[in-house]
Amino acid sequence: MKAFALFIRKELGLEGSEEDIQDICAGTDRYCMYKAGPVLSVSHGMGIPSISIMLHGLIKLLYYAKCYDVTIIRIGTSGGIGIEPGSVVITDTAVDSFFKPQFEQIILDTVVTQSTELDKELAEELLNCSKEIPDFPTLIGHTMCTYDFYEGQGRLDGALCSFSNEKKLDYLQRAYKTGNRNIEMESSVFAAMCGLCGLKAAVVCVTLLNRLECDQINSPHEVLLEYQQRPQKLISIFIKKCLRRYNPK
């Protein structure tokens, strides 16, 4: 997130030095937060519990700071389903492990189901921005959000595995047929919380591998670094376009 803050600061032509980009949340080890002009860059850890804790703090901060017309975008990495590594997926809907567009949360002793639909206009706008970067494929699709990195995502290489390779492939192929193009562990609660709070939101993740072909990442380190920069490049184009609408000069 610091790397993205430095990157967007340079892209926006902001004055100052790298030393000016400091962790606003240095007093806690829950997450890091950096500010570059009108952009906040925040880490959220791994998984639904971690990102939900961050979102509660962030949304309260935005409220007390009287911020308006806020757009929140999660960027990160994911496992692809039936698409080539390095593809960037813009999520239209986050789905659970049953391919349902919902997030189930237990509140007290009640299961509460929330919608995980994301802003369709924002997704289309991001896809249009991708046309300025022809170097890598960008697409809109469903994103499957799981509670687990190994068995929950159909991996065979964890400490535990209770299914065969055939069952894994059958599950992932069914996921593909229902419109899922990648898997990660945060999008469902992210979509649900942003929707409940009336915040325009998007999820933009690069895929590091095609899960129909393998479970482990085999690309060289320098290739993975370049992959991880792809969502940042896309988001920087979107941010610059947004700021030009506010400052048409």
Q: List the structure tokens of 90.
A: 């813009």
Give the tens place of pLDDT for each residue, 82-126: 999 999 999 999 999 999 999 999 999 999 999 999 999 999 999
Instruction: State the average pLDDT over residues 5-17.
Output: 87
Architecture of the CATH domain 47-246: 3-Layer(aba) Sandwich (3.40)
DSSP state of 37: T
Nearest to 32 by CA among 60, 4, 64: 4
List alpha helices for 161-220, DSSP H.
Answer: 165-177, 187-196
Kindly report the average pLDDT of the chain as a whole number: 93
Give the tens place of pLDDT for each residue, 139-184: 999 999 999 999 999 999 999 999 999 999 999 999 999 999 999 9
User: Is 76 annotated to bind ligand?
Assistant: yes
Nearest to 135 by CA among 171, 87, 90: 87
User: Is 153 annotated to bind ligand?
Assistant: yes
pLDDT of residue 98: 96
The yes-or-no verdict on residue 249 having pLDDT over 80 is no
What percent of the chain stands above pLDDT 70? 98
Q: Determine contact, residues 152/160, Cβ cutoff 8 Å.
A: no
User: Is 211 annotated to bind ligand?
Assistant: no
pLDDT of residue 2: 87
Domain ranges of the chain: 1-43, 47-246
Cα atoms found within 13 Å of the Cα of residue 1, Cβ hemisphere only: 19
The yes-or-no verdict on residue 44 having pLDDT over 70 is yes
User: Is 245 annotated to bind ligand?
Assistant: no
pLDDT of residue 134: 84
User: Is 22 annotated to bind ligand?
Assistant: no
Instruction: State the average pLDDT over residues 65-71.
Output: 94
Element housing 89 (H / E): strand 88-95
User: Is 155 annotated to bind ligand?
Assistant: yes
Q: Determine contact, residues 181/100, Cβ cutoff 8 Å.
A: no
Other CB atoms within 10 A of residue 21 CB = 19
